[in-house]
Amino acid sequence: MKSCQICEKTDNLLYCARCVNTAYCSHEHQKMDWKEHKRVCKKNAADSSIHNNNTTTVQEDPKVQTENLLTDIGDLSIRAENPQFMPQWVAQNSLGLEVLDEFSDRERNMITRITNNLKQLGICVIDNFLDRPIAEKCWDDARALHSMPRIFKPGQVVDQGGREKIRGDEIVWLDGSEENAKNISYVCRKIDTIISKCNSRIGYKISQRTKAMLACYPGNGAAYKCHIDNPSGDGRCITAIYYMNRNWDKEKMGGVLRLYPTAFAKSKVAEVIPHFNRLLLFYSDSRNPHEVLPAFAERFAVTIWYFDEEERAKALATWAKNLPRR
pLDDT top residue among 20 and 192:
192
Residue 228: alpha-carbon gap to chain centroid? 14
**pLDDT at residue 63, as a whole number:** 52
For residue 3, give Cα distances in angstroms to 38, 68, 273: 18, 31, 38
Does 18 have pLDDT greater than 80?
no
Please give the single-letter amino acid code of residue 125.
Answer: V
Euclidean distance between CA atoms 304 and 210, whole angstroms: 6
Beta carbons of 247 and 275 less than 8 angstroms apart = no
The backbone torsions φ and ψ at residue 141, rounded to the nearest 5 degrees and listed phi first, read -60, -45
Sequence spans of domains, the chain: 1-59, 71-317
Inter-axis angle of helices 132-147 and 182-198, nearest 10: 120
Does 319 have pLDDT greater than 90?
no
Does 84 have pLDDT greater than 60?
no
Q: Does an H or E element contain 91, and which? A: helix 87-92
Range with the poorest average pLDDT among 44-58, 154-168, 244-258, 272-286: 44-58
Which distant-in-sequence residues (6+ apart) come within 8 Å of 2 by Cβ?
A: 10, 13, 23
DSSP state of 6: T
The architecture CATH gives domain 71-317: Sandwich (2.60)
Please give the single-letter amino acid code of residue 211.
Answer: K
